Amino acid sequence: LALSIALGAAVTTAGGVGVAVANQSGSHDRTRDVARAVQGAKGKAKYVIFLLGDGMGQSEITIARNYQYGAGGRLPGIDTPPLTGDITTYALQEADPSKPEYVTDSAASGTGWATGHKTSNGRISTTAGTDLILPTVFEQAAKKGWATGNVSTAEITDATPAVLASHVNARGCQGPTDMTACPKYKKSAGGPGSIAEQEVDHLSDVILGGGKGRFDQVIDGGPYAGKTVVDQAEALGYSVVTDAAGLDAVKKGPVLGLFNKGNMSLEWKGLPADKPVTGPQVCQENQRPANEPSLAAMTQKAIDLLLAKNAKHFYLQVEGASIDKQDHAAAPCEQIGETIAFDNAIQVALAFAKTHPGTLIIVTADHSHSSQIVEPGSDIQGLGSILTTKEGAPMEVSYGTAPKGGSQSHTGAQLRVAAQGPQAANVVGLNDQTELYHTLARAIGVE
């Protein structure tokens, strides 16, 4: 309270930046907004849009907000849904699933909200230790006749998109020739095949992302032996597109869009963090090649195609994947650019919800990450970079969990969830991420 009074007083004397900060200092009574949001948070959903920023902890959100909109600003996507809470995200130990693994990866975390069950790191919707298949809310929606869509800036076979419609003991088993860690899942061994094969077999209506290299691999058994996964997709009726113009031209699903051999290209670039610290720097924006669609464009197209398939019900997951990947790389500009691109995709979902009542939107993340905002001049033992934000102030970002050239590590702090629409009030307070499954299951009417 003392702080908000102090800031409020600063407005009358200072103005300028002080005004932006003071506007957010807490004088606005939100009782009516929250009451209205809770009122609208009843019953089943018509549409579900689940948006996940990979590695997007509170620190990553704050870094992007500070840089792009200022310390007193708001991210127009992430910061908009009125009902918010926190989730815990720990995984289980593979050798002893009665014990926690305090830092999760995307595979175990995704299994948590997709199935309602915790598992060990690296597993895709299968149980720790016992390797049983865990049904997912995405599959349950499809079984009910909902149109289904899966969008990511990563390889679409990467862990977060994989947990929806595939089941395997090791996340690396992404294409038919990547099966060393999961031999019994191979088609030639009578298994369901790699993540790519399972995703296509699932007959999702919209699959958009990177990872074409996985789908160009040759299948080793079953009816499509000797063919690629792209061939399999086409045989199953998919339109396969590989650039933004191709995606624009698609009028109905099922569609498989593979816009990069690996992960999709990044939005921004800048100097990586280093020791001694780099900068001060301003990030270079608009780096993504035009033949690759933005995450926001993929989200909009997915919504259009899903509505064309089923005007009454769809379930869409959208992942901003490279927030995590650029945090691993200690690349602050790239990390912020991906966070802003994810925020743009959230705004597409929010605009849809405005004209389509009954849309449940959940925005969350799968694990925290290494980046931290530190005091300028701190004696950083890891890597650092100073960014000059859009409001003209220095922001020092540090990465302290791996040396230069290494991969910064995930961290174990609880995460933010923001939601609106049917069942959204369930995210309020502190929950475990497996509760998100039950919220989603109630929203689609299977619980």
Active site residues: 106
Number of residues counted as binding Zn ion (CB under 5 A): 1
The smaller minimum CB distance to Zn ion, of residues 205 and 324, is found at 324
Shortest distance, position 119 Cβ to Zn ion, whole Å? 17
Cα–Cα dist 107/391, whole Å: 37
Tokens at 251, concatenated = 């009028």
Of the ranges 128-136, 137-145, 244-252, 321-329, which one interacts with Zn ion (CB under 5 A)? 321-329
Query: Segment near Zn ion (CB under 5 A), from 39-47, 187-195, 260-268, 324-332?
Result: 324-332
Smallest distance, Zn ion to C-beta of residue 12, A: 47
Phi, psi of 117 (to 5 degrees): -125, 135
Our finding on whether 391 is near Zn ion (CB under 5 A) is: no
Contact, 174 vs 182, CB < 8 A? no
SS (H, E, C) the chain: CHHHHHHHHHHHHCCCHHHHHHHCCCCCCCHHHHHHHHHCCCCCCCEEEEEEECCCCHHHHHHHHHHHHCCCCCCCCCCCCCEEEEEECCEECCCCCCCEECCCCHHHHHHHHHHCCCCECCCECECCCCCCECCCHHHHHHHCCCEEEEEEEEECCCHHHHHHHCCECCCCCCCCCCCCCCHHHCHHHCCCCCHHHHHHHCCCCEEEEECHHHHCCECCCHHHCCCEHHHHHHHCCCEEECCHHHHHHCCCCCEEEECCCCCCCCCCECCCCECCCEEEECCECCCCCCCCCCHHHHHHHHHHHHHHHCCCCEEEEEEECHHHHHHHCCCHHHHHHHHHHHHHHHHHHHHHHHHCCCEEEEEEECCECCCEEECCCCCCCCEEEEEECCCCCEEEEEECCCCCCCCCCCECCCEEEEEECCCHHHHCEEEECHHHHHHHHHHHCCC
CB of 55 to Zn ion, least distance (A): 5
Q: Which is nearer to Zn ion, 232 or 263 (CB)?
A: 263
Residue 324 touching Zn ion (CB under 5 A)? yes
Nearest approach in angstroms of CB 324 to Zn ion is 4
Site string for Zn ion, 265-304 (x = CB under 5 A): ----------------------------------------
Please, how many CA atoms are within 13 Å of residue 236, restricted to the half-sphere of its CB?
24
Nearer to Zn ion, 389 or 408 (CB): 408
Confirm or reject binding of residue 60 to Zn ion (CB under 5 A): no
178 scored as a contact of Zn ion (CB under 5 A):
no
User: What's the CA gap between 262 and 277, in Å, rounded?
Assistant: 30
Select 90 or 352, whichever has its Cβ closest to Zn ion. 90
* 334 part of the interface to Zn ion, by CB under 5 A: no
Nearer to Zn ion by C-beta: 324 or 334?
A: 324
Which residue's CB atom is positioned nearest to Zn ion? 324
CA quadruple 18, 23, 27, 31: dihedral, nearest 10: -160
Report yes or no: 22 and 10 within 8 Å, Cβ to Cβ. yes
Contact between 199 and Zn ion (CB under 5 A)?
Answer: no
**Beta carbon of residue 358, minimum distance to Zn ion (angstroms, whole number):** 34
Which residue's CB is nearer to Zn ion, number 303 or number 323? 323
d(CA 109, CA 122): 9
| Residue 386 CB coordination number (10 Å) | 18
The two structure tokens encoding residue 96 = 């002893």
For residue 9, the minimal CB distance to Zn ion (Å) is 44
**Residues 130-159: x where in contact with Zn ion by CB under 5 A, - otherwise, as a string:** ------------------------------
Shortest distance, position 343 Cβ to Zn ion, whole Å: 19
Among 133-141, 150-158, 251-259, 319-327, which window interacts with Zn ion (CB under 5 A)?
319-327
As measured in angstroms, the least distance from the Cβ of 101 to Zn ion is: 14
| Residue 79 CB, nearest approach to Zn ion (Å) | 24
Q: Is 366 in the site for Zn ion (CB under 5 A)?
A: no
Residue numbers at the binding site for Zn ion (CB under 5 A): 324
